[in-house]
Structure formats: structure tokens, C-alpha cells
Structure 1
Amino acid sequence: MGMLDKAKDALGIDDKADQASDKAKQMQDKAKKAVDQAGDAVDSKTGGKYAGHVDKAQDMAKDAIDKMDKK
């Protein structure tokens, strides 16, 4: 184990990075769930009249959420 690895272990850097990554994943999952719920609410209020448009908007929103992770 090199000196840099020992320093990371001593500071708990890898653990904090893993925790931050897990938290970001949880937030993404919550955001996607909210997008689904909003789309379902729109479909419910409109009787599904715009379901195709709503589905497309949901897909676009989820793609945007996924892209935020890559930045």
C-alpha cells in the first residue's frame, strides 16, 4: 500500500466518496419517481388523452436526470 493509499484510508476519503455516490443515486431515484408520479397525475386529470406526450416528456426528464450524473 502506497503512501497516498494510506493517507486516503486515514482520512476516510474513499468512504466519503462512496457515501456521496450512494446519496446521489438515491436522489436520482427519488427524482425519477417524482417524474413518474407527475406524469401519472397528468394522465389521470386528462383521462389519458395526452398519454403519448406525457410519456415522451417523462422519458426526456429521466434522460436529463441520468445525464446530470455524468457531469
Structure 2
Amino acid sequence: MGIDDIVSKGKELFEGAKDKVTDALGSDKVEEVSDKVLDGAADAAKKVAPDQYDAKIDEVRDNIDGAIGE
């Protein structure tokens, strides 16, 4: 097996792994978990920040969710 064959095989393995990770990150379970984590972080921030910042905290939470979720 030559170096070109090894590189080619490495590329194939990488592409296959990348596809699996992409599929997993787009799954409903990941979305559910990320929503729970973001909700928990937003709730914690609301407990320590003055009430006047609740809307901003919700906005940031929604922006993050939009960036990582479906």
C-alpha cells in the first residue's frame, strides 16, 4: 500500500466520521439536550441578575439556540 492509498483511506474514514457526527448533532435528542442546558443556564442567570435583564437573557438564549439547534 503506497502513501497515496493511505491518504485516500484516511480521507474516506474522515468523511465517514464527519457524516456520522453531523447526523448526530442534528438529531432530535441533541436538540432536546441543548434546549435543557440553555434553559437551565438562562434560569440560573435570571436568578442572579436583576429582573430588568430577563428579556435580554431570553434573547441571548434564543440566539445561541438558533446557532446550535435546528
TM-score by structure 2 length? 0.55
Are the aligned partners of 2:34 and 2:69 in contact in 1 as well (CA < 8 Å)?
no
Residue 51 of structure 2 is aligned with which of 48, 51, 59?
48
Are the aligned partners of 1:32 and 1:65 in contact in 2 as well (CA < 8 Å)?
no
Q: Distance in 1 between matches of 2:51 and 2:45?
A: 8
Displacement of 1:47: 3.6
Amino acid at match of 1:49: Q
Displacement of 1:61: 1.1
Stretches of structure 1 lacking an aligned partner (at least 5 in a row): 1-16
Alignment partner of 1:63 is 2:69: no
- TM alignment of 1:1-71, pairs within 5 A: 24-67=27-70
Deviating above 2 A after TM superposition, structure 1's stretches of 4 or more consecutive aligned residues are none
Stretches of structure 2 lacking an aligned partner (at least 5 in a row): 1-19
Q: What is the aligned residue count?
A: 48
